[in-house]
Structure formats: C-alpha cells, structure tokens
Chains A and B, each alone.
Chain A
Amino acid sequence: MNVRLQMAMVFHLDKCIGCHTCSIACKNVWTDRRGAEYMWWNNVETKPGTGYPTAWEDQDRYRGGWVQGSDGKLRLRGFSKGGTLESIFHQPYLPTIDDYYEPFTYRYQDLFDTPEGADQPTARPVSMITGKPIDIQAGPNWDDDLGGSPVYAENDPNLTHVSEEDKRLLFELERMTFFYVPRICNHCLNPSCVAACPSGAIYKRGEDGVVLINQEACRGWRFCVTACPYKKSYYNWSTGKSEKCILCFPRIETGQAPACFHSCVGRIRYFGGLLYDADKLPAAASVPEGELVDAHRGIILNPNDPAVVAGARKNGLGPDVIEACRRSPVYQYVIDWKLALPLHAEFRTIPMLFYVPPLMPVMATVENGAYDTTETGLFGVVDNMRLPITYLARLFSAGNEGHVRYALKKQIAVRAHRRMVTVGDLDRDAVTSMMQEVGADAAELDAIYRLTSLPTEKERYVIPPSHREEAEQMLKTDVLRAKGETGFGFLERPVRGT
C-alpha cells in the first residue's frame, strides 16, 4: 500500500444556481492577462449543452483521455508516443480559439469621444487578440440557460445514448429543463495531460496531488490541451505556454479554500483531503466502463483504518493530516454516502472532482399543464424525470444507471425523511421502506441533510495543513535563498519569447 494525499472536491449540483461567481473570482485572480482572456479555469455550463469549449465531451473529435486497449492496458486516445512526435508540427485534434470564443471588449471611449450627431454613440466590440472590430460569434457561456439550443443543446454529446423519443420529449417546450455544471480542473489521479506532455513539464505534486504545469519547462507543444478530456488545460497564445487551474495552491498551502470555492454563493462546493492507494494505479482505471465508478471508489482509502493510518505515517503524512482526512466532507459524500459521482469516469483519468447529481430541477413532472412536485410516487419520479436517467448516467457514472439512480433515490429519501420529521405528513412505513431500499438509517440521512443544507465554512472546507515550514526546510536548495526569493514573483517576466 502506497498511501498518498489528494485534495479532492465535491460540487453539489442540486444547489448550483448558475451565477458564475466562481468563474469571475477565478478570472480576477488568475486569468485577467493577455493571452489568457479566453481562459476560464473555472467555468459553469448549462446541461444539456455543448459546454466550453464547444462539445468538449465529444472525444471522437477531440481525442482526449484514455482508452483501454484489447490487451487491457490503457493508452492515450489521442496519440502514441511516436504519434506525438509525428503530429507535433500540426496537432490534428487541437480545438482552436473559435471553439472557445474570441475574447472581446468594447470601445467604451467612443461613447465619450463621439461628436454630437443624430445617432446615439455606440461602443463597438473589438477583438482582444487583434484589437480590431469584430462581430461577436460566441462567448464563454454562450449557451447559458439553453440559449441557442438548436446549435448547442441539441449537439450535447451525452444525448447520443438517449432514445429519439426521449430526445423529442426533452426538447418539448413544456418539458424543457436544464441544470448547471461548474467545472474546474479535476486534478486527476491518472492525468492524461501529464502523460501526453512531450516536454514532461506537467506534474502532479506528491504532497497534495495538485496538477501543475511548469511554465519554464513548457514548450507549447499543446498536447495537454488535446489529451485533457475535460479541456481544462489551456494554451496561452501570447506567451506560447499552456496553463491550467492550479487549485489556488498558494491559498490551500495557507489553509484557505481556492478562490472559486471561497466565493461560491450557493455553497455548493466541498473541499477536503482523500487518502488513496497509489499502487492501485492505473489498474483502477483499467476496468470495464460500468465498473469504473466502483473501481474509482475502491482506490480511496478509509482514514480510520489502522493499516491505512500506518501506511500514511510511513509516507510522511502527519497525524494532523490524517485527522483532516477523517473530517473530509469529500470522503463522506463519495465513500460514506455514495452520493457524489465523478464526471465522465469513462475518460479513465480518475478525476478528483465529484458531483452530486441534481434532483430538484429534473424531478418535477408536468401533469395537465401544472407542475407536480408532490413526491406522492416517492421513488417513482426517478424514472419519470424530465431528464432521462440515461443522460445523467452518461455524465456521472460512465453509463452505469444504478449509481445515478441510487444517488437520486437517496436524495429523495433524505427529503422524505426530513419531511416526515418536520412536517409529518408522510407515511412512516413508506419512508422506512425507502430508507431500507437505499440502505441508510435516520442518522445518516440527517447527516446528509445537515452537510447539504446547513454546513459551516469549516465543515465545507477541511484543508489538511501543508506544513510549508517543513517543506521549505526539506528543500535541497539553500533555505535562506528560498526565503530571499519568496514573494518576488517571476524572476523572468512571463512574456512571449522571440
């Protein structure tokens, strides 16, 4: 057993209101720079929709992630090592900026400088690349709230497994529904961007599992952009380097939640440590698609298990770190309650960002033109949701409908249980049978209710101490020199080379 610590995340989609505050927080802190204007390390997408960049989930086009060969071994979907060097002069599956959007601003000054005339002055949109006027074709959330559905929502790659009849119903005006999926880098355990980087510039930090791109080693070959199935590695067209979410490591090293977590108004985000067994990689990603979620969970270790604790201590994880992992909300959602599921486990990167599938927006059915939210059928609604279960299973459990159904039923059970407790209008036997079906007792449902609805900030973000003071001491370089350099930012300005 090789116990390592991974900073992991849970996004509770039932609580997300799609306000994009997280995106803006991230943008303001990290990507408000030339060449990075188009990047949204954190973005929020409407589902069904094609997302950002357009149709990023369609790996037939973009060739991201891993596939399992006939010999059972994993290989990158995009390129073999030789194929990487062969395709290095023009990368065939690289999305271009038009698949994201051309960043733009407006000539606001024109509003002031325009001489008096018959017409109102206008602020023309200009490209932030060329500085010339453009017709805006797209934006980072162009298909928000199903905008432009004939172009975007209907092309959602997850709809390929949905029957024609369901698709027709889905886009019927009265039944139309959507939910939001905020996305950041998943800081995967089996990252394909790392494996695809020809320069070896991308690495996973041993201490907390944050995946980073060494800007001084990156040569702009762009294979990480293609290899990341989530398209969360971005090419900075100005500096000629790729960049990605850094999980605000300067913040988490000092015990603060990343900016997007910190700013989330819906409080949908949970952040905590997970212990995992590095020896089980990449075997955990080399199982049939339907078993991926189970294999995924199987790699995560129980921080209360004495053997795990001993392994963790052996690998230098301090008691305070292990203690933090025991209180990790992520462990509760993913392992204890099995509510949170990985996004697109079939990409086989073992993402460390988990989603609680949304219940609320998809639950209500339309009966005679009126919304029916009575839950009289109790679990019956799960299979009559406005969004087909096949669709959610495509997103969150690699097509295994059982996992999604379980997570939804458990959420309904929580509601039924709480309604019984607080309102008392539900039949106790019916609720008990629901609880038995999802295998949860009242205490567990109460705990879910509490962490979902009433968590404090300290319960949502349990950040194991980084012990930077020790890390600094252990660095093989001169500590005093490190001290002298810290806080001075880049020693070389991050500008485009010639």
Chain B
Amino acid sequence: MVFTIDTLLFQVLPYVPVALFIIEAIRRYRQRPFSYSSLSSQFLEGDRLFIGSVPWHYGILFVLGGHLFAFLFPRELIAFGSVPWRLLILEVTALIGGLVSLIGLVELTIRRLTRDRIRAVTNVMDLVVLGVLLTQVGLGVYIALTMRWGSMWFATIMAPYLKSVVLLQPNVDLVSVLPWVIKLHIVGAYVFLAILPYSRLVHMLVWPVHYLFRRPQVVIWNAEPGSLRSTGEPERGG
C-alpha cells in the first residue's frame, strides 16, 4: 500500500477526532459539568441574534440531518431522487438549508465581531469555532452549487466511505479521486469533530430532549422523605 496524503487524511485522521470527541466530551461532562452551557449571548443583544441564530440553527440542523440520512439510508435516498422532479425538490431544499444556515452564520459572525458587548464574552475558541463553521458551510454551499447532485453522489461515494470508516476498514480509494474542494469539506468535518469537545459546541450534546418526557415539577430531598427529623424534641421557650 502506498502511503499518500490521502491515506493520512482519510484513513488515519478520522479516528483521531472521533477518539478525541468521545473521550474528551465524556471527561469534560464528568469533571467540569459547570462548563457545559449554551453560553447564550441573547441577554446582551437580542435583535441581531434572532436574525442570525434562528436561521443558523434550523438551517444547519436540517443540513446535518440530511447528511446523516444520506449516510444511513443511501439506497432509499437514491430511490427517492430517481425521479427528476423529486431530485430537484431534494436538491433545492438542501441548498435552501445550506443558504439559510450560511446567512445566519455570517450574521452571527458579524454580530460577534462588531458588538462591544458580545466581544466582551468572546474568547479565542469562539473565533476558531466560527472560522471552522464558516469554512465548512461555505464549502458545503459551494459544493452544492457547483458539484451537483450532491445528494446522489454522496449516497454513492461518501456513504460507502463513511461506512467503511465506521467499520474500521477505511476505503480511501472512494474519496481519493474526488475534487479537492470536497476533500477539504471532509477534512473540515473531522476538524469540527475534534474541536467540538473543547469548545462551546458541547451545548449540542446536551440538547434537552428529555424535557419532553419529564414531570413539570422537580423536588429533591437530601434524604429519603420520612427518614429525617424523626428524633428532634420540641424546642422550648424562645
């Protein structure tokens, strides 16, 4: 086997961020639970946040969901896209998702860099996160526009590659022939995964879906109710 830059990037590299992500996210959750927060800045500035945050989050959730779906169900996706008008709907909605998230992200970046109050709560890692995300989403939209149809070739090329990575038998051949823009997008995804546990991005791991299933009130006893204060004698006087 010839060892090339592709081997490094797509065969060895994937396992570093995955390992980092799993180990560090758990370690941070257990050892530094206080540091898990959305770190929302809405309290300092709300109007511009709405314009940025809502499109960004909904757009990126939709797009990431699309990637995940294409990875898990490539056959079904190809079957769905086999009729031209359905393929167009698929691609146009994906593009809209990408554009919506890109607009939101650009707005969030401008807001973070120009508002004094927001700059007061910005650290270096926040800027790294913004840089990686801007690169990723920008590349993604560029790819969606110029290398069509992403949904189809993702299902035929990327899905088997990712599957091979998951099955610990990475098949570099599949991705090594792709244009460098797409390769950069893949590498960007690994970088994203690697910085996730070290950044504010951890908030996505604690998205409170359990809220839907809990009772409205929470009462916590320091000890079993009924087992306490059974011995105290009445205080007299006072």
Contact = CB atoms under 8 A, between A and B. Distances in A.
A266 interface: no
A202 B218 contact: yes
B44 A129 contact: yes
A413 B119 CA distance: 60
Nearest to A323: B234
Interface of B: 31-46, 49-50, 53-54, 56-58, 116-117, 119-121, 123, 125-126, 198-200, 202-203, 206-212, 214, 216-235, 238
A323 B234 CA distance: 6
B237 to A, nearest CB: 9
Contacts of A290: none
A320 B214 contact: no
Interface string A464-498: 01010011001100000000000000101110111
Contact of A497 (B34, B50, B233): B34
Nearest to B199: A498
A238 B122 CA distance: 10
A26 B126 CA distance: 34
A222 B42 contact: yes
Nearest to A317: B229
A314 interface: yes
Contacts of A465: 229, 232, 235
Contacts of A92: 50
A92 B44 CA distance: 14
A316 B227 CA distance: 6
B200 A498 contact: yes
Given A82-B212, A320-B232, A497 B43 contact: no
Contact of A130 (B37, B116, B232, B235): B116
A285 to B, nearest CB: 12
B41 to A, nearest CB: 7
Contacts of B33: 216-217, 492
Q: Which of A89, A216, A470 has the most CB of B within 10 A?
A: A89
Nearest to A206: B221
Contacts of A94: 42-43, 46
A207 B221 contact: yes
A327 B34 CA distance: 40
Contacts of A219: 36-38, 203, 206, 208
A400 B228 CA distance: 40
Contacts of A474: 222-224, 227-228
Nearest to A470: B228
Q: Which of B125, B203, B223, B227 has the most chain A CB atoms inside 10 A of its CB? A: B223
Nearest to A76: B216
Contacts of A215: 34
Contacts of A323: 234-235
Contacts of B210: 200
Contacts of A321: 229, 232
Given A194-B216, A465-B235, A496-B123, 17 more contacts: A89-B54, A90-B46, A97-B44, A129-B44, A198-B208, A200-B211, A203-B219, A206-B219, A206-B221, A222-B42, A316-B225, A319-B232, A320-B233, A321-B229, A492-B33, A493-B34, A496-B121
Given A190-B217, A194-B217, A219-B206, A319 B234 contact: yes
Contacts of B219: 203-206
Contacts of A388: none
Contacts of A251: none
A318 B230 contact: yes
Nearest to B46: A96
Q: Identify which of B125, B211, B233 gathers the most chain A CB atoms within 10 Å of its CB.
A: B211
A200 B36 CA distance: 14
Contacts of A471: 222-223, 228
Contact of B37 (A82, A129, A218, A317): A218
B35 A320 contact: no
Interface centre among A240, A317, A320, A465 (most CB of B within 10 A): A240
Interface in A49-92: 81-82, 84-85, 88-92
Contacts of A90: 42, 46, 49-50, 53-54
Interface in A122-139: 127, 129-132
A315 interface: yes
Given A237-B41, A320-B233, A465-B235, A85 B209 contact: yes
A191 interface: yes
Interface string A289-325: 0000000000000000000000001111111111110
Residue in A129, A327, A497 whose Cβ sees the most chain B Cβ within 10 Å: A497
Interface in A92-114: 92, 94, 96-97
A323 B237 CA distance: 11
Contacts of B233: 318-320
Given A85-B211, A89-B57, A97-B43, A318 B231 contact: yes
A11 interface: no
A371 B210 CA distance: 61
A332 interface: no
B211 A222 contact: no
Given A219-B206, A319-B232, A470 B223 contact: yes
A470 B231 contact: yes
A239 interface: yes
Interface string A228-261: 0000000101111100000000000000000000
A384 interface: no
8 closest A-B pairs by beta carbon, nearest first, are A474-B223, A497-B35, A318-B232, A198-B208, A206-B221, A240-B37, A318-B229, A195-B216
